[in-house]
Structure 1
Amino acid sequence: MTNSANRQTRASQKRQRLTAAAARVLHEQGVERTTLADIAREADVPVGNVYYYFKTKDELVRAALTEHTAHLDELTGALDELPDPRDRLKGLIAAWVAGRETAARRGCPTGTLAVELGKRADGTLDAEAGAVIRRLLDWTAAQFRTLNLPAPDDLALTLVSAYQGMSLLANALRDPTVMTREGDRLLHWLDSL
């Protein structure tokens, strides 16, 4: 590998570290409380380097949303390997329940970011956060559609709303068992359809 290729690889890795760190820190602290220095520290990158890759905090928020999309795509891609759409939906619920400790501490990563961004005066990034949630709704509706169930978009809205609600309550009550109990209820609901 040439020196130029090595530099490009290192730069790409550094940018990815910053993106992943932004997603984590923004989820932990929120947009307003997070500084570029916080993200640099989490990524183990000198703070001056952050400005080379991201000129503003909004660019880092956008990168964090890209990271959330990548995680969602990774999850749904793995679930798409399952032959039965009902099993895919159950796998989605299982993934949500598996994240119960994080949900109890901080809520849903994308949902909490969407709520916070929706309160900003400039309103430029809230639609991008909404697009990540829309992506989950569309994937979920496709599963219900494959099951030939009536009103698949409404069923998807019910399921994703339940997840957002149980994440919010687990966080507000600091009780991860909310996720477990509601996850079990959602599994029974799926079996009843």
Structure 2
Amino acid sequence: MHDPDREFTGKYEEAGRIGGMLLDRFYSAVHRLLAPHLRERSALLEVGCGAGYSSQRLLRWLPESASFLGSDVGETLLEKAAARNPGAKFARQSVYELALPDKSVDVVVMLEVLEHLEFPERALVELQRVSREAVILSTPREPLWRFLNFCRGKYVRDLGNTPGHIQHWSSRGLCRQVQAHFEVCDVARPIPWTVLSLKPRQ
């Protein structure tokens, strides 16, 4: 049976040396795209924070006067995120219906979430609605993601597809997916991901 909690924590707790190196490169790319938007008193929302591993990195990068909110639909994951990041604020919210006013946060970060969603377009509409300045978005880069999984003997029966991944995009495909709602300002391609810096369309 597919366990989303295990899938999320597994890539951090069982990454190994090579996996850890790839994750470090992934977060270096995220930081490069995010850094221009990290200012004093800025407000950052992380959508799909999971168990709070990515939140740790984001909180480390934020200026002291900036505010942070992490959101997820998983209660157990939110408990882990709060325990992992004492003092940080977390809330149970759906990406399809964020409990925030229009244009209420400067930057939205959503990492490794869109590929899990049945209705990605609805999620993008919400990200556009709440973001003032930028959205940093990442997904696995296909078909490379599945190829690398297959090569290491993972999910062979599903041809390398990670359980729970129901959407699949190449870098170009992801750019096409978001263009109705965002201007693509920058693209990073740390293997095996695509990371976009997006400006919400008015």
Is the shorter-chain TM-score for this pair beyond 0.5, marking a shared fold?
no
More helix by percentage: 1
Q: TM-score, normalised by structure 2?
A: 0.26
Larger radius of gyration: 1
**Higher RCO by CA contacts (8 Å cutoff, separation 6 or greater):** 1
